[in-house]
Structure 1
């Protein structure tokens, strides 16, 4: 962040925060939207190529989420002691390597390794970006910038869809293209993110973030962690098996199901307005409404094709799954603000803790959904996930939690 001269009060320029937000949004797009969530778009192709059953496909997705858990634990500590740029560039390098390994995978083990490395990239991305924005952007812009960057997930998902359509059955070139894009975004962030430690735009002094905030446990932190885990478990159904449900039970063909995925990503961009939703409903009301919406858009794809006549069932499935992108991004944005509100003195820790529990829920959820699908059916597995989301609507932020 640059400052004015000594003849006038320090005042941050708008251009630098905008460039920071743009580069950060792109990094979230390639790590979350592509290196992590594009796997679900290609599950049908991977199952055909490598002979994977539903439990095995869910287990591979779970490996990516487990790697996310490990990476975010390291990242949320490192972001407080290392310059955010170093940690963010590590995330970009992992995304580049993971997608390249998927593209060249000779068998299921290499595919799983690529998904694992790609999953780790997401864990390394969010904390340093949250840290940089919290200390390099003026207070009046921080919430909006944080939510814009967080909405990059939807942008990445929207980009992966057209690539999949263009590739057709040739999924390996698609993943090579993903790797090239990840490398380009990594180089962009190398030129844009601040090279030094974080600095508060309110003054010239350097802000030092502790590795571990004190106190570690704060009023409302247990509720946040539980809510995040429930949200992650519920969301794993759509992210891992959403396209497969559309193909096998929803009456959508290959092109329509990819178009659904593109729309899912496009609606995810609406998550940039999460702050406005919170201003209108309050943190507790916004969380409850978003989780109930998550339950609805997870249950409708399982119920609509059999309950509605003709083309209404597939249309309802398409619409509900597409809206899932907006709901999911809103929920992650709410958790991002929840974590920062609980830990204003250590924003990377607050965001990292919340996102760690999202990944923990997804780590458990993907194989669970695959197991229920194998033992019962995929629609029934989606109904289980929807029930978890409905239950999670009751775990709302405590009034007055955190420190200000």
Structure 2
């Protein structure tokens, strides 16, 4: 088990793992999920329609999309420290803006900045760990970094629930999130000093080499995953609140249950590697998309049932955390010579679906209702599951 060194100073393993854990807990927790978590309160305070909510969520995911592109350029130019710190600064500023927002435009700007942080600060940790951690410990370090996502989402949901039950304003809740983000920013600034000025590989790599025929199924599944997962995190809490909430919890915070279960069950993403070995990658991908379909169907049909909500959120959490890892496995097979750039291309496909999904879903809900929106999302996930074929999961056609 890795430990501190003889001088009592944290080893690179622990330093980078702790920094990454804190960064993903903030950027993929309250910064990325906070809008959906607090949407019932936002709709009440700012008089937001369901269609406007979809547009704001899509704006935030556009920030995520842009963050991915800028992060790659920053990492290539100056190493991983700059994009990670920049992302956490955006998270701190965005969350702070939301906490103090006097109007809908300021709220939207805060959401844009906060959600862009996830695009900036995730993929550079692969480079930081690759440079700073010995090879045998890298998988463990990356797993610890990814675990921050599940715990960050669970903590955000729990904080929202407890504070609302105690009568604490949602603004104070976001202010506390901003303080946590600032502390994460400071910690990463210090922990990543050794990674500054260590740019990635300088050899030219044109994006078009990633877009070959064998990669089309992966990008297609990533696009569908982006739509289905973001529709859920954007609107599930509001769906529960508008339906009357679950028994025993105040209506306006009953959606917090979604994010608590989502994050807690999502920790099962740590066993994705074992699941892939046991089931094979094609079957694992099908099961995950079917889990997403069932999750959306349950939130559409039984949004006031404890069992329905817990199962729905748990399935969605498992789907999101495991699917991210499963797509990384698939990407590694296709792009063994440039894994970081290849997986970024996959994330861009996911981000494209994430941008288009909420705004389209908001329009559907405005015209036909939330039930139709979630059942349509479930149908898309089921069709994607049925479309996956074993022959799609191939090795790179450009070895070496």
TM-score by length of 1: 0.86
Q: Where does residue 44 of structure 1 map in the other structure?
A: 40
Corresponding residue number in structure 1 for 2:241: 247
Output one character per residue of 1:357-389: Cα deviation in whole Å (capped at 9) or x when no partner. 212111111011111111111121111111111
Q: Show the counterpart of 2:4.
A: none
**2:232 corresponding residue in structure 1:** 238
Retained in 2: the 8 A contact 1:64–1:117?
A: yes
Matches within 5 A, 1:3-402: 15-168=11-164, 170-193=169-192, 195-196=194-195, 208=201, 210=203, 212=205, 215-218=209-212, 220-249=214-243, 251-252=245-246, 253-304=251-302, 313-393=305-385, 394-395=387-388, 397-401=392-396
Contact 2:236–2:258 under 8 Å retained in 1: no
**Residues 125 and 94 of structure 1: CA distance in aligned 2, closer, same or farther (over 3 Å):** same
Distance change (3 Å), C-alpha of 1:60 and 1:241: same
**Whole-angstrom CA distance in 2 between matches of 1:287 and 1:142:** 25
Answer yes or no: is the 8 Å Cα contact 2:155–2:260 preserved in 1. yes
In structure 1, how many angstroms separate the alpha carbons of the residues matched to 2:134 and 2:276? 20
Q: CA deviation at 1:238?
A: 1.4
- Aligned partners of 1:93 and 1:186 also within 8 Å: yes
Q: Give, in angstroms, the shift of residue 62 of structure 1.
A: 0.4
Gaps in structure 1 of 5+ consecutive residues: 1-13, 200-205, 306-310
Count of residues in Structure 1 that have an aligned counterpart in Structure 2: 380
Q: Is the Cα–Cα contact under 8 Å of residues 291 and 315 in structure 2 kept in the other structure?
A: no
Contact persistence 2:236–2:255 (CA under 8 A): no
Structure 1 350/152 Cα, relative in aligned 2: closer, same or farther at 3 Å? farther
Distance change in 2, residues 1:222/1:314 (3 Å): same
CA–CA distance in structure 2, aligned partners of residues 104 and 361 of structure 1: 30
Aligned-residue Cα RMSD (Å) equals 2.5
Q: Secondary structure at the match of 2:48?
A: coil
Q: Which residue of 2 aligns with 1:202?
A: none
Give, in whole Å, the separation in 1 of the partners of 2:351 and 2:218: 14
Contact 1:17 1:137 in 2 (8 A): yes
Contact 1:218 1:401 in 2 (8 A): no
Tell me the distance in 2 between the aligned counterparts of 1:63 and 1:118: 11
For residues 142 and 390 of structure 1, the distance between their equivalents in structure 2, rounded to whole angstroms, comes to 35
Q: 1:142 to 1:116 in 2, by over 3 A?
A: same
How big is each residue's C-alpha offset from its partner over 1:54-80, in whole Å with a ceiling of 9 and x where there is no partner?
000111000000111111012123223
What is the match of residue 9 of structure 1? Answer: none
- In the alignment, is the contact (CA less than 8 A) between 1:261 and 1:322 conserved in 2? no
C-alpha distance in structure 1 between counterparts of 2:354 and 2:157, whole Å: 22
- Number of the residue aligned with 2:3: none
For structure 2, list consecutive stretches of 5 or more residues without a partner in the other structure.
1-9
Aligned counterparts of 2:256 and 2:245: Cα–Cα separation in 1: 13
Contact between 1:302 and 1:383, CA under 8 Å: does it hold in 2? yes
Kindly provide the CA deviation profile for residues 270-300 of structure 1, in whole angstroms up to 9, marking residues without a partner as x: 2122222222222222222211111111112
Is the Cα–Cα contact under 8 Å of residues 54 and 234 in structure 2 kept in the other structure? yes
Shift of 1:303: 2.2
Q: Give, in whole Å, the separation in 2 of the partners of 1:187 and 1:243.
A: 32
Q: Does structure 1 conserve the Cα–Cα contact (< 8 Å) formed by 2:77 and 2:200?
A: no
Shift of 1:337: 3.2
